[in-house]
Structure 1
Amino acid sequence: MLTALVIDDEQFAREELAELLEETGHIEVIGEAANAIMGLKKINELKPDVVFLDIQMPQVTGIELLGMLDPDTMPYVVFVTAYDQYAIQAFEDNAFDYLLKPVDPKRLAKTINRFHKVVTQSDQPQAVSALVPEKLEQIPCIGHNRIVIIATDNVECAYSNISGVHVRTSEQTASTQLTLKILEEKTPLVRCHRQYLINIKAISEIKLLENGLAEIITTTGFEVPISRRYLKPLKEMLGIVS
């Protein structure tokens, strides 16, 4: 049986769709989320086969959520939206499928049948690249019973350790479900170490150490390591010739 995650900020719509999916006998709903940020967390944790994703949600939209997923591992995506059929044609060629609210059980059955056919032919999700934002304007962070949205321009650095990926600003450090790879590809942050990304504008000083290593001191005094392979490209970005 295939697994699904339902992401929608409307509780009734979310629960109704989950019931319809379970009634088909072909889809197991393994999770629900009331917003894109919790949805991102559950996608990474549960790894569903397909995500039924609302487009219009507060703080982070369904389209923005797509840009936060790793294209190499992302699940299939079915948009669920209140847009009329003419508007949704813009999405039709780029997502696996779409459903209009309120969801019609017969239309849902067609989606599931199509899904089964595609899955048997290929293990890779259908591309949604035409819809995915090329740049992230904000980074969703979660923890301590709160959700924090951080503008990418305010990020000083990002780093990973045993407890996950963390985003640091001049005022706080928060954890995110995004990978360093996604942050490197879709934000202004630049790789300076296997476990660190830096905002060029946040560099106050670069200390040259022994053995070709170096260390960044940010404008707030935070220390960020620079590995040998990234030192030269970083210096070139700063216009340093040596």
Structure 2
Amino acid sequence: MKTIIVDDEPLALDLLRSILSAIEDVEIIAECSNGRDAIAAVSSLHPDLIFLDIQMPGINGFEVVKAMQSDTMPMVIFATAYNQFAIDAFDLHAVDYLLKPFDPERIERAVQRAIERRSAPENDGGFKTPLIGAIEEITRRLDKESGAVSSPEEEIPQGIKRKLLIRDSGMVKVVPFDDIDWVDAAGDYMCVHALGETHIVRSTLRELLEKLDDKMFIRIHRSTVVNIERVVSVTRLQKGGSLLHLADGNSLRVSRNYREAIRSLFQ
């Protein structure tokens, strides 16, 4: 399996490389020390598997997951020093993880599970769905621990047009549709990327598409919608499809099934 390892601690990265290099089924194709490089490496190298440290400065491991397209998402094994309540959330959503300090036998078991998972039929939303579920569960528990309470439904302003209302840490954020760069669906969750932030919303892609302007937002993959006004360039891929490069620096893959929609927009 083509594998990327990500950790901001050089010693942890060295240890992980050493252990994985001894596993026959793993080929390390890149090493990253921060989240931004990890996102770029996944986009360009298309790994099968990524070992991803959660607690990194700047863009952490959870934000790396949110930034990746569901349809092109590799398998992820989190590396963490989190406490038990977070570990319980990973177990609840069947998300694999490694506790620091790393144990060679535990890493080998995680690799074997990844091999088995790769050959199993993907669920709706692919590998991203359980990851987002675990992230939401951990966020909910952190909010509860800190005393944040979600706003009741009746307190949400009604009748706001062309805006998305998102509950986050006890408050409601108002995100204008025009500020949305792209949207990624993962099962029952939507990752809404707007002005450098990613908001997780419980919704279906169909429900959101009914609200968005179909002249501005188009579907480019089974689970991905993009604001066409954010596209600055397009790169064709050798095996069909293409990459859309956005003004915020992200690159999104367009599947062959949706390339005609892209072509018509640029005629």
Work out whether the TM-score is over 0.5: yes
Distance 1:98 1:122, change over 3 A: same
* Equivalent position of 2:6 in the other structure: 7
Residues 72/93 of structure 1: CA separation in 2 closer, same or farther (3 Å cut) = farther
Identify the residue that residue 129 of structure 1 maps to in structure 2. 132
For 1:22, the equivalent position in structure 2 comes to 21
Give the direction of change, closer, same or farther, for the CA distance of 1:119–1:159 in structure 2 (3 Å limit).
closer
Query: Displacement, 1:52?
Result: 0.6
C-alpha distance after superposition, 1:81-129 (max 9, x if no partner): 1113443221233364100011101111111121222222236753323
- Report deviation, 1:38: 0.5
Match for residue 117 of structure 2? 118
CA deviations over 1:119-167 (Å, ceiling 9, x no partner): 2223675332313783446639xxxxxxxxxxxxxxxx62231476242
Larger Rg: 1
- Corresponding residue number in structure 1 for 2:219: none
Alpha-carbon displacement from aligned partner over 1:1-47 (angstroms, at most 9, x marks no partner): x1110111111111211111111222111101111111000001111
Name 2:98's counterpart in structure 1. Answer: 99
1:95–1:9 CA distance, 2 compared to 1 (3 A): farther
> What is the rounded CA distance, in whole Å, between the counterparts of 2:109 and 2:77 in structure 1?
12
Conservation of the 8 A alpha-carbon contact between 1:81 and 1:99: yes
Give the corresponding residue for 1:158.
Answer: 230
Cα 1:180–1:77 shift into 2, 3 Å: closer
Aligned with 2:196 (options 130, 139, 146): 139
Partner amino acid for 1:63? F
**Cα displacement (A) at 1:65:** 1.2
Letter aligned with residue 34 of structure 1: S
Number of equivalent positions: 163
C-alpha distance in 2 between matches for 1:70 and 1:82: 26
Residue 107 of structure 2 corresponds to residue 108 of structure 1: yes
For 1:46, give the aligned amino acid. Answer: L
Q: CA RMSD in A?
A: 3.0
Question: Amino acid of the residue matched to residue 82 of structure 2?
Answer: Y
Structure 2 residue identity aligned to 1:158: R
Equivalent position SS for 2:245 = strand
Query: Contact 2:6–2:50 (CA<8 Å) still a contact in 1?
Result: yes
Alignment partners' CA distance in 2, 1:56 and 1:107: 20
- Which runs of structure 1 show a deviation greater than 4 angstroms over 4 or more consecutive aligned residues? none
Residue identity over aligned pairs, in percent, reads 29
- Residue 226 of structure 1 deviates from its aligned partner by 11
Residue 159 of structure 1 aligns with an amino acid whose one-letter code is V
Residue 48 (1) aligns with residue 51 (2): no
SS of 2:37's equivalent?
Answer: helix
Structure with a larger share of its residues in helix: 2
Unaligned runs of 5+ in 2: 137-189, 198-228, 236-243, 255-260
C-alpha change, 1:139 and 1:90, in structure 2 (3 Å) is same
Task: Give the secondary structure class of the aligned counterpart of 1:134.
Answer: strand
1:174-215 Cα deviation digits (max 9, x unpaired): 6x134399xxxxxxxxxxx969xxxxxxxxxxxxxxxxxxxx
| Equivalent AA in structure 2 for residue 177 of structure 1 | N
User: Judging changes above 3 Å, is the alpha-carbon distance between structure 1 residues 63 and 158 closer, same or farther for their aligned structure 2 residues?
Assistant: same
Where do residues 177-188 of structure 1 align in structure 2 (5 Å cutoff)?
177-179=250-252
Q: Mark the runs of 5 or more structure 1 residues left unpaired by the alignment.
A: 141-156, 168-173, 182-192, 196-224, 228-242
**Separation in 2, partners of 1:34, 1:115:** 23
* Distance in 2 (alpha carbons) for counterparts of 1:35 and 1:26: 25
Aligned to 2:69: 70
Range with bigger deviation, 87-96 or 21-30:
87-96
* Contact 1:84-1:100 at 8 Å conserved across structures: no
